[in-house]
Amino acid sequence: MRLGFAVLLMMSLPVHADELLGNILRRLAEPQVVRAQFVQERLIADLTRPSVSRGRITVSRQEGVLWQVESPVRKNFVFTPKQRRGAAEAEVGRLMQDILGANEETLKTTFDARATGSLERWTVRLAPRAREMARFLKEIRLGGGRHLESIEIEETSGNYTTIRLRDIAVADKLAAEELALFKAP
């Protein structure tokens, strides 16, 4: 009897994990606009201290991702679906949009995605499916609850990036100044 219960439990875990992943991604995709403050720490394998940057991020379902670094230098990065960039830049932009925009279909085809936890406190592990991407990217871990709160990027080189999001707010539309940054050439 115990063995039968254990087998039944083990068979139900992948279904539960896949259902949890779908629920997490649908929840993250609900708001039209998400804004947050971020702190990004990047640890380069050959350096002893991480580089730290701070700023704001805006994710728009319609327009894309606006990444505004405020320190140590002020710089805006805009990732839109229609933007023309070089191959590497385009791939990074597409990945940012898919991850931050919780694009379920693309994430599931690009990564082996596994969710653990509950809808209130979860972790999603993304391992690249494509051999080309797996040469430089080991894993991406997303964490959160109601919203995405952390992103950890582990590279095969030993480099490691942690992004913590706080003061998260949702809205129905972009502010005029945000929209202007998305529309700028």
Q: For each successive 10 residues of the chain (185 residues), what is the average pLDDT? A: 41 60 90 95 89 94 90 90 61 73 83 94 94 91 94 93 96 94 84
| Measured distance CA(122)–CA(160) in Å, rounded | 21
What is the residue range of 71's domain?
2-183
Given this model, what pLDDT does residue 173 score? 95
**DSSP string computed for the chain:** -HHHHHHHHHHHHHHHHHHHHHHHHHHHHS-SEEEEEEEEEEE-TT-SS-EEEEEEEEEETTTEEEEEEEESS-EEEEE-TT----HHHHHHHHHHHHHHTT-HHHHHHHEEEEEEE-SSSEEEEEEE-SHHHHTTEEEEEEEESSSEEEEEEEETTS-EEEEEEEEEEEESS--HHHHHHHH--
Given this model, what pLDDT does residue 91 score? 65
What total number of domains does the chain contain? 1
| Measured distance CA(185)–CA(164) in Å, rounded | 29
Tokens for 139, please give them.
């894993």
CATH of residue 57: 2.50.20.10
The pTM (predicted TM-score) of the whole model is 0.84
